[in-house]
Amino acid sequence: MSCFKTPYYIAFIILLFIYHPVWGQNDSYRYLILFKDKTNSPYSLSQPDKFLSARSIERRRKYQITLKEQDLPVNPKYLQNVQKSGAQVLFPLKWINGALIQQKPKDLANTLSQEGVKGLYYSYPIDSSGSFQIKKKSPKLPELPEAYQTLSDSLDYGNSTTQISQLGVNTMHAKGFRGEGILITLLDEGFLNANNASFLQKAFTEKRILATLTTTPGLKDVYIQGSHGTHVLSTIAGFSPGKLMGTAFQAQFALAQTEEGNTEKIVEEVNWLRGAEWADSLGTDIISSSLGYTVFDLKLSNHSYSDMNGKTALSSLAAAWAAQRGIICTISAGNDGASSWKYISSPADADSILAVAAVDKSLLRASFSSWGPSADGRIKPDVAAMGQATVIGTYSGTISTSNGTSFAAPLIAGLVAGTLQANPNKSPWQIMQAIKQSGNQSTKPDNSLGYGVPNFNQIQKLLNPLLAISTVEKKRIQVYPNVIQLGDPVHLKRDTFEEITVELINNLGSVIYTFSWTGQQQDFYPPPLVSGKYYFRFTDKITQEVIPFYFSN
């Protein structure tokens, strides 16, 4: 599982999925078929309430998004014809005017001959030898990002303080924006025991889990298998004061199982499309997904780097279609930064979404975080959040830490939720732009961390200067001079007396010296160091600040 070709209307090549024996017979397969049109359908664009929720219709009205034929459901008559041919319709897919069906290969021709059926969806070009051409090139490694300060608030975040404060979400919470009224849909592997975990009980008892969806045939419950989704959900919805607090712990949630356990089949991208359509119909504000697709069990299905153009992989098309309908998508960039692949995976390559990289507690890039750019040259990832040693809740009910862009993406989803709540008159496109421009390397975005780690304070300043938090301009701690030579002291100054832990960190993220500071001023004489960039990290009970300086010998 990655947890982390041409569009459907062009040339066709078979898309075949072996049906998992746990759920059915070994000779049963899944196929993605397309229909010819949506004519003579009982559905009409003039009556969207027949196929969209009131919440979904309101989102379109609010953002002036016009309904189009792509939004119309598949013609029920065509689905009936397919069923009469002996195929089982697993689910229709309106955005591509198709359906995922289950059928024995010997009976497929009968289904394809039915009225209204156009043919099979072919998504991957195969050369004359029957194999894929996979082209890769080495990325240029960018420089490490700058660090910057955050503020504190009165909630007890426990060990999750760092991942919260890096994004300024503590200030967001203190301002009263905790995701209330915002619907976040997660597309993931499953949510094992999420309904029993103590750190998620607040969301369940307050009935803020609005809907669930399974896409694996025969699976009826999202809570009985697949722990990855539970861990992801905890970073947004978790509420365990003193241990773990999610970035939008008062939001509403919809949970979709689209990933299929220990196998990696390209049908999972079809499932992802199904989940995105479902999210749209519910009226979702944010889709967050910590899944990525590059390599599959069947090598003929593999993506090449050239496919990472936002226009080839079905999941990437689905993410772009969701974005067109006013849904902000936060997608994990991938965990292949140290592998031979190196690059982002689909659907992180989609246009108009937020692909999220991973940093550590010092705002330095995690080595596993996947690189950009997209194959067509766009900056990717878009932003970053803490994905190394992220505090999470586990399916067994414990609080732990884990690594992956899988956890960076939902942290950003919570930031998006609070930002939407704080700015109800701003469009999703304005919100996404402000989030990127608030990043700590927005003036020099790169293909390592994109625009960097965003911050709620700066987002508010960009979206509405009248709501800007002026105190963000004033550093809590002053460090000077900025360039230190051997034998010279670093001057530390602040306005408070509380005990604070000071760590000296090199540019690889390793702590090389630590001490406690209780006064307002202190001169610190660094030990002999190699010339280069270093960081001071100041940590108290509820906040953390990282300030860079340079050493020259």
Active site residues: 188, 228, 406
Strand, helix or coil for residue 523: strand
- Measure the CA–CA gap between 539 and 518, rounded to whole angstroms: 12
Closest CA to 428 of 416, 415, 413: 416
DSSP 69: G
For 352-384, b/e burial (b = at least 16 CB within 10 A) is bbbbbbbbbbbbbbbebbbbbbbbeebebbbbb
Strand, helix or coil for residue 402: strand
Say if CB 101 and CB 33 are below 8 A apart. Answer: yes
- Measure the CA–CA gap between 264 and 258, rounded to whole angstroms: 12
- Measure the CA–CA gap between 73 and 94, rounded to whole angstroms: 5
Say if CB 207 and CB 360 are below 8 A apart. Answer: no
The residues, any chain, with a CB within 8 Å of residue 230's CB and separated by 6 or more, are 190, 191, 192, 193, 194, 197, 200, 393, 394, 395
Up-side HSE of residue 4: CA atoms within 13 Å toward CB? 31
DSSP 222: T
The residues, any chain, with a CB within 8 Å of residue 482's CB and separated by 6 or more, are 549, 550
Q: Which residues on adjacent β-strands are paired with residue 536?
A: 504, 547
What DSSP string describes 331-361?
EE--S-TTSSS-B--BTTT-TTSEEEEEE-T
Say if CB 517 and CB 492 are below 8 A apart. Answer: yes
Tokens describing residue 274: 């199904």
Say if CB 372 and CB 449 are below 8 A apart. Answer: no
